Each structure stands twice: as C-alpha cells, then as structure tokens.
Amino acid sequence: MERREFISRILKRTGITVGAGAAVTAGLVGYYQPRRELYSPENSVVGGSEMMPVGKRCIVVGGGLAGISAALELAGKGACVSLVESSGSLGGKLTGWDIEALGERMPVEHGFHGFFDQYYNLNEMFASAGIKDDVFDASPGYPVLFRQRPAETYGQTPKVFPFNILSVVGQSRSLDIASFLRNYRGLLPVVSMFGYEYGKTFLDYDGIDFMEYCRKGEILPAFVDTVLHPFADATMNRMEVLSAAEAIRYFHFYFMGSPEGLSFNITNRDCMTALINPLEAKLRELGVTVLSGHRALSLRVEGDRVAGVVVQGAGSSGETFHVNAEDVQNAGWTSIVSREGVPVLVKREGGGYLAFDARCTHMGCPVVPDESDGFFCPCHAGRFSGNGDVLGGPPPAPLVKLSVKSGDGVLVLHSSEGGGGTAEQLLECDYCVMATDVRGTRQIVANSSLASPDFEKSVADLGEADPYAVYRLWLEGPIDSASFPFYTVSGYTYTDSISLYSAFQEPYVSWAAKTGGCVVELHAYAIAPEDMRPEEEIKASMIAEMHHMFPETEGARVLHELFMIQSNFTRWAPGEHAGRPGVETPFPNLFLAGDWVRVEAPVFLMEAAAFTGRMSANAIFRQEGVEQVPLPIVPMDGIFA
C-alpha cells in the first residue's frame, strides 16, 4: 500500500480529516520524530592522538561479540591485543559448528538471529571486517502465530511517529483504535512507554516485573497478548520475571524510540561463515593474538591494578577438586559440583572411584550421564563414551580423566599436568577487558583475589535467565502453508518462535530443493521452572505445537533432529539494575563488556555487546589520550520524555 493511502486510511479511521492530518503529520515529523544520536558520556573527551603508544598490552577475555568489538577497536589503534576464548571458536552465541546429518556435513548454531537496522555499532563492526550486504536478506515481514486465533503479520512499518504504532494497530485483526479509546486508562501506560528516560524509568519501574506493569496499568489485554507479550519474550526473559524498566528500554530500543522501524535482516549463510570467520580474519590481520581453546582462570592483581590474566589451555591441567564422598551415588555416574565450583562426574567402581572433569571440551558447558553409560552435553549436543572419548558433535577433545584419592569422607580429584590441557601461564597486561558471559565472569572474579568486596558482590549477584531450548528438525516433506522464513509464536507452552532454515539459509535451501523436505527450528526462549520436563517430553510437546501451527507436518517423518537446552542469556530481574557492574571497575585498568553490563545508553542484546565492547576500548583510549570511537545510538530518551 502506498504510504499516502495508508496514512489517509488511518486518519479516516481515527476521525481526523486529511487536511488536519497533514498538518498534524508535519508537526509530529518536525518535533517528535526519533533521530539517531551519538552517545556522549560525561567523561568523554574529544580529540587526541590517532594511535595508542607503542607496546601497550591489552588482554580481552571472551571471544563473543563484546570481546571481538573491543579487540577490533584496540588493535585498530595499535594496541598489542591478545583475545582469550575458552571455546575452540569465536562468536559466543553466534558461534556454530558442523554436524553429520543424513550423510552430509551441515552447519548449526545456537538458534535463529535477526539483525535489526538500529544495530548501529554491530553493523559498523561487520562493515569494518569487509562483511558485505550480500550475506543478509531482508525479512519480508514480522508474522505472529497465536494458539487461539488467526495469525497476524506486521509488514515494514513506517518510520514516522505516530504512524509506526498506528500501523501495528492497523495491521492487526484484534486491535483497533476504538478499543484503545474506550480503555483510555490502559492507554496511559502504553503512552508512558514512549516517555522512556533512563534515570526516571529505572527509578520508577525497575522494582516490578513487566507483567505486573501491564496488569496494574490495565493495558488492553489484546495489546498485551498481540504485541507486548510475544515481543517481550524475545529478551529471553519471561514477562513474569522481567524488570518493567528493562522491558520499557527494550521496546524503546527496538521500536518505540527507534528511527528504523521494525525491519530486520537474516543471514543467508550460517553465522560462522557469514560473520564470525570474517571477523576473526580481520582480528588476525590487525595483529591480534587469538587464543581460542584457552580458559581464563583468574586475574592477577598487584596494588590497585590488574597485572595479568592466568590462562590455561582447553581441558583441565594440574587442577585439584574436592567433593564429599557421601554425595556420590552407589550406582552409576554422579554429576556433582566440586567445592571449587567446577562440575565433575564421579562413579563408584569396586573399592575405588572413577572421575572426569565434566566441562565439555567444546565450550565448557557441563556434561551429564546419558542412558548408554556415556555422557552428553545438552548445550551443543556433544556426545562422549563412558571412557570420555568423543563420539559426536562439536567437542574437539576427550573429557579429562581425574585421579581420585579418598580420606576422611572427602574425595580429592586431580588432573595431571598435560592431561588434556596445557600448564597455567600468566599473560601480563597494561589493560584488561573482561567480555565473558555472566557465568564466565562470575567464575573468574570468584577465583581472583581482588580485595574489592562491593565489586565482587556486584558480579556474584549477576544471574542467567531461565533455560532455553533449540530443536532443529529435518522433515521429509515441505511446509506449504508457511510463507515466511521466521515466525514469532504466542500462547504455547514451549515454542516462542519457528524458523524455516530451508527457506532462507544455505545449505538447507539446496537440501530442500534436492530432497523435497524442509528444515525447521523450534525455539523456546525461556522455560519456566514449572515447565521443565525430561528432554523427550519437551521434544514431544514442541512437535505437537508445530503440528498445531502447521497441520501438514503431522504426517511428515522426522529424518534427523538436533535438540539443545542451554542457559547462558542474561537475567533482567526486577531490582537488579542498580547493582550491576558498569564498564568501569574499581581497578583503573580493568573494564567490563557484555550485554549484562549496566549502561545508560538504550541498547540491548547483540547491540549491547558490541556497544559495551567499544565503550571499554574508549575507556582505555581516554586514559592514553587517544581519540575515542563514536558510539551511535537510538535517541537517549523517548519522544514523550
């Protein structure tokens, strides 16, 4: 529909004449239209030298988007950068790996990713690595599948306020202006979301969850069910445990305060091929030492500065763990967390014990016993034999076997030097950027003697959201009724989105053309504790939900499947924001980066990771008198702030 015709229909629907509508539109465009800004913190400095002093050593811990972002900026200005990543590959939640499926090698990853136009810093990072637009395709729309009523599809919404929000109402079968006007009390909290203002919003609303905000505000239930609930779930936090302030910031960033509308892109190749491999190549081109497969254990502090990072290779080496003998089952393997906070597997055998370090050699996720007396990594479907050998999936090395000594009711588990890893080494540094996820940051800080109780508590209090599940299915037949590559889903117990990889990403497009089948992925964003079930029950429920959404799949045979449950997204619970650590720390040369870091800027998820990575580099540049990197953002405040 032409924009003029669309606006005319909206104005007629709301009772505004075309002439008056033109005047109103001009005023709104001139004054209220959101505009891209540059983030300028109070301590920012304009100008400075172009390059870092020669020989400045910077260690970046964590090879996800935050760490890559920081390393690129630091190396680009001449710093000597080492990037430490425990996994065998970079990328964090964008990383991927190959699996054997139906006689072919196929790439898989953590789940579907959408790349929005307002990911300014992330998109600039991609461009700096020479990543071309041809790896992206624009999503044709934003459809939502509802359990109890027909699907609704939101197309490319106008970028002009208020027609962006009116277009959502106009495209919905269950929403209309008259209902909003009748429920005028429930309209006020929606309008207040357009008044996002960092300090005031978090002061007023961080203490309640988003569901309570909607309920107390009497927001129109149809608007909650149609818009707020399904889109809020994409924070990977359930509305019932999501801070209302974080939710308001989320909607400000993605829609209500964004100049870019609701458009997003998807990669037509797997993320490793399209994005992460070019980024790693750029890092190496800039001289970054990439230490993948190396685990950062702790920070070495001298005085008030971080002198270095203690690092070891993949797998444990020369580590000692302690567990209580009474906690070990009499039969089979026992999964247990040692006193040192490391997961281990222990089994009684004869008069003694067998034990393994239970950290998967892929990304350090805890492995668990499976029904075949072997072990399984539920995060990325890695499989090990009862001897710890790799049977399948992405793990590059066997589990590390531990020797066991018992005495006084305590088992002492020890890995020999060189047993699966390399000896510890100290990487000295002038600056350090911690860009690991929540779990990794907590472990490293807990293992370090920092003598900074407030900072250590702020890190220890960080949390992870409820577990999420990714279920990829190779089906023998097509899904003819699916006309979009990606659907948001609302009203089901588990499934929150469904992606048809055979409709947009190679090699799945070619596989579907060759076989007549399709590849779909069901994603449960956050599984409530009361809904946690054994894996087979969750899988059966998700398949039943797929059958309800697309009935033709009921007769399609599953040719291959990959199921993963993970827990590594940031928790955004009520009341936690003020206590989060920021980019700067009590140590003048230690900085933090990641989507979990407290920042004033309206950023979220992948963009928050790239943004805070740049922020940490800027903090180092500021100390060295180097010109800082501009940080583009959506408007700091909502249009009604």
The pLDDT confidence band at residue 293, using thresholds 50, 70 and 90, is confident
Confidence of residue 620 (pLDDT cuts 50, 70, 90): very high
- Which two tokens mark 313? 């290779």
pLDDT of amino acid 8: 44
Is 638 in contact with 38 (CB distance < 8 Å)?
no
Residues 6+ apart with CB under 8 A from 514: none
Q: Is the separation of the CB atoms in 221 and 235 below 8 Å? A: no
Q: Which residues of 389-419 are buried (b: 16+ CB within 10 A; e: fewer)?
A: ebeebbbebbbbbbebeeeeeebebebeeeb
Residue range 601-606: average pLDDT?
97
Lowest mean pLDDT segment, chosen from 164-173, 336-345, 532-541: 164-173
Give pLDDT, residue 397. 84
| pLDDT over 70 percentage in the chain | 88
Contact 92, 241 (CB under 8 A): no
Report the percentage of the chain scoring pLDDT > 90: 63
Q: In which band, very low, low, confident or very high, does the pLDDT at 308 lie, cut at 50, 70 and 90? A: very high
In this structure, which amino acid lies at residue 462?
Answer: L
Kindly report which listed range (187-201, 360-374, 485-499, 563-577) carries the lowest average pLDDT score: 360-374
- Minimum mean pLDDT among 182-196, 257-271, 306-320, 366-380: which range? 306-320
Helix axes of 18-31 and 3-14: crossing angle, nearest 10 degrees = 110
- The whole-number pLDDT of residue 37 equals 93
- What is the structure's pLDDT at 167? 63
Q: What is the pLDDT of residue 158?
A: 60
Rounded mean pLDDT, 272-277: 96
Mean pLDDT of 370-395: 86
- pLDDT category at 418 given cuts 50, 70, 90 is very low
For residues 251 and 231, what is the distance between their CA atoms, to the nearest angstrom?
A: 8
Question: Would you say 339 and 319 are in contact if contact means Cβ atoms under 8 Å apart?
Answer: no
- Least confident segment among 39-48, 234-243, 377-386, 621-630: 39-48
Q: How far is CA 250 from CA 145, 193, 209, 602, in A?
A: 22, 10, 13, 8
Give the mean pLDDT of the chain. 88
Q: Name which of 155-159, 369-373, 439-443, 537-541 the model is least confident about.
A: 155-159
Q: Write down all domains in the chain, each with its CATH number in brackets.
A: 141-256 (no CATH), 315-414 (2.102.10.10), 466-566 (3.90.660.50)
Beta pairing partners, 375: 369, 384
Neighbours of 369 (CB within 10 A): 18
- The more confidently predicted of residues 302 and 377 is 302
In the chain, the amino acid numbered 620 is I
Tens of pLDDT, residues 208-247? 999 999 999 988 888 898 889 999 999 999 999 999 999 9
pLDDT computed for residue 539 by the predictor: 96
Give 339's contacts (C-beta < 8 A, 6+ positions apart). Answer: 321, 322, 323
In this model, does residue 414 exceed pLDDT 50?
yes
Q: What is the largest CA-CA distance in the chain?
A: 90
Residue 309 tokens, joined: 């990072």
User: In this structure, what are the phi and psi dihedrals at residue 541, rounded to the nearest 5 degrees?
Assistant: -65, -40
In whole angstroms, give the CA distance from residue 418 to residue 315.
9
pLDDT level of residue 12 (50, 70, 90 thresholds)? very low
**Arithmetic mean of pLDDT, 525-550:** 96
Mean pLDDT of 172-193: 72
Lowest mean pLDDT among 138-142, 163-167, 499-503: 163-167
